[in-house]
Each structure stands twice: as structure tokens, then as C-alpha cells.
Amino acid sequence: ARLGGNDFETALFGKEPALRDLFEQMALTHPLLVRVSGSGSAVIAIYRSEHERDNAASEIAGQRHRLIKTMTRREAAPGPES
């Protein structure tokens, strides 16, 4: 995960210092991965547990961005009824 990257990050960080600041703040919460998603519409971070995710969310809450907490399902979603 640490080897992943986004070619847009360097260009975006130069033009959008607030995005760079958010990225750096998220990196300080020790995620497994933090990256700009797509062309800069979002910053994502992946954590080992819900507890770590929630602690990180508390650390960066209340700033000028919207935080959406999600999680991966442990089991497959039910399929359509046959």
C-alpha cells in the first residue's frame, strides 16, 4: 500500500495547498494508505480497524471538509432473490 501513488498528487498539491494540508493531516493519523482519489475530488485513508478509523476521524474533524466513514463488508452482500 505504501508504494501506491497518484500521478496527480504533486500537481494538485502545488495548486491546492489546502488539499496538501488535509493529506498531510491524514498521514499523521497513521493509516495503512492515504492517497488523493481520482483527479483530486477526494482524499482517502485506509485503517486497520474501525477503532483506528474513528480515532483518526476525531483528530481531523471540524475542518472545512466532509468526512465520510465507511467500512468493508466482512461477508458478501445478499444477492437478488432467484
State pTM to two decimals: 0.76
The pLDDT tens digits of the residues spanning 21-63 come to 989 999 999 999 999 887 677 889 999 999 999 999 998 887 6
The per-residue pLDDT for 2 is 55
Please tell me the distance from the alpha carbon of residue 38 to that of residue 23, in angstroms, as a whole number. Answer: 14
The per-residue pLDDT for 3 is 60
The per-residue pLDDT for 5 is 67
53: enclosing H helix or E strand: helix 50-60
Average pLDDT over residues 62-77: 80
For 56, residues 6+ apart whose C-beta sits below 8 A from its C-beta are 26, 29, 30, 31, 45, 47
The per-residue pLDDT for 4 is 65
